[in-house]
Amino acid sequence: MKVKPADRTKSVQEYYFSAKLRQIAMMRQSGIDVINLGIGSPDLPPPPSAVQKIREEAMKPDVHGYQSYNGIPALRNAMAGWYKKYFGVELNPENEILPLIGSKEGIMHITMAFVNPGDEVLVPDPGYPSYSSVTRLAGGTVRYYDLTAKNSWMPDFCKLEDSDLETVKLMWVNYPNMPTGQRGSVILFERLVKFAEKHNILVINDNPYSFILSSNYKSILSAEGSKNVALELNSLSKSHNMAGWRIGLVAGHREYITEILKVKSNMDSGMFLPVQMAAAEALKAGKEWFDELNAVYKQRRTVAEEIMNILGCRFDKRQSGLFLWGEVPDSYGDGEQLADKILEETHVFVTPGFIFGRNGSKYIRISLCSSKEVLVKAKERIKNIIS
């Protein structure tokens, strides 16, 4: 290249799934029938009322212009009502909720709004890779903190307290957790808020999995004093099967939201109005809709557990969320070795845990975003190479 890229690009690599999907596409082009059990992209439709709403709204002649940067009142009101109904959290729709073009966007906006070069950011290991990459792109310093099965995939607060936290600005948490499926709790969120208050840290809970294989919804914003030191990201991608629609939110104290909006308003021009109207409609879905969705996931989860058992992987049946996380047998060096063997010999792709951090290296992850029939087909293929 005649023009050199910015130095910040040296701090990150192409997202793992971007490269892996390209590999799978090439395999399929060559005639190989690859079953993808790696990606967490819901394959089921959104609530029918949301689909009908976007059809109706998109046909109107006056809905195709730019929209406000902080979302329409109808969407913010629906988001506030959703949080009140399911999480028991009161949010002012005027200034404590900011709709996002997907919550992944929010990771960048929050980081850009609060992290200066040299600021440290606490990132879970294992955890979502974007927490680290976005921190580096912003010039911050990643400091990993361990999540382990021994500690039920919770932060080790004693170990954190024993470290120097003077330059730590943000802390990323994610409960219900991805990739481990560990559920959040009132006790955990209260402890996180007290930790953040003591050390003047802004803690962000990334919370898109509350509704999947769970009916016990938790938010960090329910903890006393949380709005002073905490934000929460949420998304309709997983809860309402609207991943491609790109609808998320960040919630918290109005002053934090104001700072995030400064960044967001310089990076996009608002969300398509019919999408916002449809999202507001989707948020009206009742518990019966989630129950029907989870009935499907329960059937899929049963097959995923059977696959883990065939592979000799150990897993916690109390996991929630869109995935099943399992520790590989000692006969394999790590999860990547087993995942590569499965892909090579059965043409089934499962995610190796190393992509989520060092503490995930002995694990694999199976997505529940394929039909029960596809999962059964994958199980039969895997059974043939293991038996």
- For 264-300, give one letter per residue: b (16+ CB within 10 A) or e: beeeeebbbbbbbbbbbbbbebeeebbeebbeebeeb
* Structure tokens given for 224: 């006393």
Please report, for the domain that includes residue 156, its CATH number: 3.40.640.10
Are 315 and 204 contained in the same domain?
A: no
Task: Give the global pTM.
Answer: 0.95
3-class SS of residue 310? helix
Residue 363 lies in a domain: yes
Q: How far is CA 252 from CA 28, 95, 105, in A?
A: 44, 9, 16
User: What mean pLDDT is predicted for residues 81-93?
Assistant: 98
The mean-pLDDT minimum among 1-10, 173-182, 305-314, 347-356 falls in 1-10
Are 114 and 261 contained in the same domain?
A: yes
Residue 83 lies in a domain: yes
Are 198 and 251 contained in the same domain?
A: yes
User: For residue 370, what is the DSSP state?
Assistant: S
Are 291 and 273 contained in the same domain?
A: no
> Which of 282, 298, 326 represents a domain boundary (last residue)?
282
Looking at residue 289, what is its pLDDT? 95
Measured between alpha carbons, how far is 254 from 250 in angstroms, rounded to an integer? 11
Are 295 and 147 contained in the same domain?
A: no
Are 24 and 84 contained in the same domain?
A: no
Are 112 and 248 contained in the same domain?
A: yes
User: What mean pLDDT is predicted for residues 86-103?
Assistant: 97
- For 206-241, give one letter per residue: b (16+ CB within 10 A) or e: bbbbbbbbbeebbbbbbbeebbebbbbbbbbbbbbb
Q: Is the pLDDT of residue 14 over 80?
A: no
Are 88 and 219 contained in the same domain?
A: yes
pLDDT range class, residue 293, cuts 50, 70, 90 = very high
* Structure tokens given for 119: 């600021």
Residue 51 lies in a domain: no
Looking at residue 295, what is its pLDDT? 98
- How many domains does the structure of the chain reveal? 2
Residue 121 lies in a domain: yes
Residue 232 lies in a domain: yes
Residue 1 lies in a domain: no
> Which of 282, 304, 334 represents a domain boundary (last residue)?
282
Are 41 and 154 contained in the same domain?
A: no
* Structure tokens given for 382: 């895997």
Residue 94 lies in a domain: yes
Are 292 and 253 contained in the same domain?
A: no
Length of the chain: 387
Say which residues have a Cβ less than 8 Å from residue 45's Cβ, sequence separation at least 6: 51, 241
Are 71 and 199 contained in the same domain?
A: yes
> Which of 282, 304, 336 represents a domain boundary (last residue)?
282
Please report, for the domain that includes residue 30, its CATH number: 3.90.1150.10
Q: Is the pLDDT of residue 327 over 80?
A: yes
pLDDT range class, residue 1, cuts 50, 70, 90 = low
pLDDT in tens, 206-246: 999 999 999 889 999 999 999 999 999 999 999 999 999 99
Looking at residue 134, what is its pLDDT? 96
Q: 124: burial class by Cβ within 10 Å (0-12, 13-18, 19+)?
A: buried
Are 301 and 252 contained in the same domain?
A: no
Q: Is the pLDDT of residue 36 over 80?
A: yes
Q: Is the pLDDT of residue 154 over 80?
A: yes
Residue 2 lies in a domain: no
Residue span of the structural domain in which 167 resides: 62-282
